[in-house]
Structure formats: C-alpha cells, structure tokens
Amino acid sequence: MLENTGNHPKIKFGKTGVLIINLGTPDGTDFWSIRRYLKEFLSDRRVIDINRYLWWLILNLIILTFRPKKTGKAYKEIWNYDKNESPLKTYTRSQAQLLSERFNDTIIDWAMRYGNPSISDRLKSMREKGVDRLLILPLYPQYAAATTATVNDKVFAELSKMRWQPAIRTLPPFYDNNEYIDKLNKSINQHLGTLKWEPDRILTSYHGLPRRYLDLGDPYHCHCHKTTRLLKEMNKKYSEKIILSFQSRFGREEWLKPYTEETVIGLANDGVKKLAILSPAFFSDCVETLEELNIGIQEVFMENGGEEFTLIPCLNDSKDGIDLLEYLITVSYTHLTLPTNREV
C-alpha cells in the first residue's frame, strides 16, 4: 500500500478491472437519437478518412438529413422494447454481469465506442473504484483500424486526462484463436441441429470495409479469410458448404468483395434453395445481423428463388460466449499483475 505521509489525499487503488467495449448504439429510435449517434460514428476519422472538409459537407448536409429516418426504421425492427434499448446494449450489459460472477475480485464494466455508456464515463467510474490495472477488451475478433484501433484511440485519449493512469493492456485480435474457432463451430452445429432441413450453403458474412483500407495495410481482410478457413478445417461436416462475403457497404467506393447481397443473389440464381448465414466478426447480435441479414438479406434470397433461410446467432451472452470471454480475460490477466509485497 502507499506510504502514509499524512498529506496525500485518500485515493482508492489496487484493483484490477476489465472494460468490455463494443461498437455502439443509439439511445432511441427517434430521429434525433439516431442523428446524434450517426454523427459521432461517422465523424470518426478512423471510420471515414476522405477529405475532411468535403466529408463535413456530405455528412451534415446530406447524410444526417436523410439517413436517420432509414436507420431508425431498421432499429425499430429489432429494438428491445422491454428494456427500451438495442439488443447490442442488452447483450453487452449481460456479458459484463455474467463475467462479474466468474471474477469476484475483478471490477468488470462495459462501454460503447459511440453512444452510451461512453468510454469516458466508464473509465472515470472504474478509476474512482480503485482500478489501477486495466484490461481493455474490444469485442472484435478481427482487427481493423475502424474498430479495434478507434477503441484504443478513445481509451488513450481519455487516459491522457488522468493524473494517475491505470496500467493498461489491450486484448489482441483473436480471429485465429482455437477457443474462438471452436465456439463458432459449435454454434453452427448446435443451431443447424435444431432445423428440419440442411443448408445448401453456409455464408460467413463479415462487415465490410473500403478496399482502399486493405491497400493501406489494414489486416482485417486477411483476418476474416483466416477465420473462415480455420472454421472450414474444423467443421468436417459442412466444410465444403462454407463460403465468405462482406456486407454493409456504404457509399459508392469499392469495398471488400465479394459483397453479401450479390453473393446471395448469385447463389439463388445458381439453384441454392437453403441458406444459413453467420457473422463471425460480430460477437453480439446487432442491427447488422438482426435487421440487415435476418430481414433484408433474407428477403433478397427469397425474392430470387430461395426457399429456406436461417441466421445462426452470434455468441452473445450464451454459455459458450461467456466461456470464451472468460478464457480471453484469464489468458491476458497474468500480464496485468507483477509480484509485489503491497496490500491490495
């Protein structure tokens, strides 16, 4: 413990913490809540890096005028009305609560990169509780500058405001970790085992990025391909049926290919009647899985001749999902603690 000099203010310390961080969510489905969320998200230079002044005009005069209505409609389709929040917020809170039950001596909290609860508020709260060793856990299996890096940017920016910073470790990407691949594999087998039909194809649909980001050195594209390859190697039963695509294209710029919508149309036109989709880049179900895939892409598939469609749920707050998070935290935990004779 600190030497008692008699003149140091009382400050809590000696606690280890874990901060789980996911992308973000609006506070509501109304126009202004959606607009506020989109403005924070789309103002991030890690997400959109075109000419700053040109983008300001496009964002504020066009996108934030028309996009909130469309996005709000999508959120209304999947909103958790019981808790008046998005499913992503529900799952992330639950993950933190369930993990807290497994780590009794660790302060585990959660935050969103965009929206609430904010990273700033949660870091302040954890520091006030005495956290001076902190694991940052971005819930992104595959690394991208627009996801993992921007989380780290925000964390480090907030730390720069602190007089006494906690020691920090950030979780590395786990796209090729055996435990992660195993949990994905189990989720496929368990879900498909509940169906009365067998899929002709299993599509691993990842969130897309501009192709230019790959050319600039972002490893996300390679991480996604390796995840799918390892999944195919592990799942002997469905190996030949598993393919890959990228979804959520935004704007006119070329993004990573193949595009999910075009892939699904092509599959249907080629005679594929039964399709299963999973989203390995999302640890928790959100608007991109529940609305974009399970509603939008399902409609596209059916309109082009498909007959059966299923969305394989993300790991969410399932036992396997929490087991995986516990494993990732435990592996990283040893690097947060050094031998000491202080009282904690």
The pLDDT of residue 332: 87
Tell me 116's DSSP state: S
DSSP 8-class letter at 5: -
pLDDT one-digit tens code per residue, 173-185: 999 999 999 999 9
**Domain parsing of the chain, residue ranges:** 15-28+79-173+320-336, 178-311
Name the phi and psi angles at 337, rounded to 5.
-125, 130
Radius of gyration for the alpha carbons in the chain, expressed in angstroms and rounded = 21
The per-residue pLDDT for 340 is: 43
CA neighbours within 13 Å on the CB side: how many for 140? 27
Cα 297 to the center of its chain, rounded Å = 20
Q: In what order do the strands lie in the sheet with 167-170?
A: 106-115, 15-25, 131-138, 167-170
In sign, the C-alpha dihedral spanning 285, 290, 296, 297 is: positive
> Is the model's pTM score more than 0.75?
yes
Q: How many CB atoms lie within 10 A of CB 298?
A: 18
In the prediction, which pLDDT does 11 show?
Answer: 78
The per-residue pLDDT for 344 is 34
pLDDT at 12 (0 to 100): 83
- CA-to-CA distance for 117 and 225, rounded, in angstroms? 32
Name the token pair of 229: 């390859």
Give me the residues of the chain with pLDDT under 70, please.
1-9, 334-344
Contacts (Cβ under 8 Å, ≥6 apart) of 127: 162, 164, 166
pLDDT score for 10:
78
Task: List the one residue out of 120, 116, 98 whose CA is nearest residue 108.
Answer: 98
Q: Do domains 15-28+79-173+320-336 and 178-311 have the same CATH topology?
A: yes
Distance CA 317, CA 187 (A): 12
Please give the Cα distance from 285 to 289 (Å, whole number): 6
Angle, helices 178-192/220-234, rounded to nearest 10 degrees: 60
Task: Supply 292's token pair.
Answer: 């974009």
Strands ordered across the beta sheet of 308-311 = 242-247, 201-207, 274-278, 308-311
DSSP annotation of 60: I
- Three-state secondary-structure class, residue 270: coil
Query: Helices in the chain by DSSP H: which ranges?
Result: 31-42, 52-58, 64-78, 87-102, 119-128, 150-159, 178-192, 211-215, 220-234, 260-269, 287, 298-303, 319-333
299/330 Cα distance (integer angstroms): 42
Helix (H) or strand (E) holding 109: strand 106-115
Q: What is the DSSP letter of 314?
A: P
pLDDT tens-place string over residues 137-193:
999 999 999 999 999 999 999 999 999 999 999 999 999 999 999 999 999 999 999
- Fold assignment, 15-28+79-173+320-336: Rossmann fold (3.40.50)
- What pLDDT score was predicted for residue 13? 83
Q: Which fold has domain 178-311?
A: Rossmann fold (3.40.50)
d(CA 277, CA 267): 13
**pLDDT value of position 342:** 42
**Cα separations in angstroms, 317 against 111, 181, 281, 327, 334:** 16, 17, 15, 14, 24
> How far, in Å, CA of 211 to CA of 208, rounded?
9
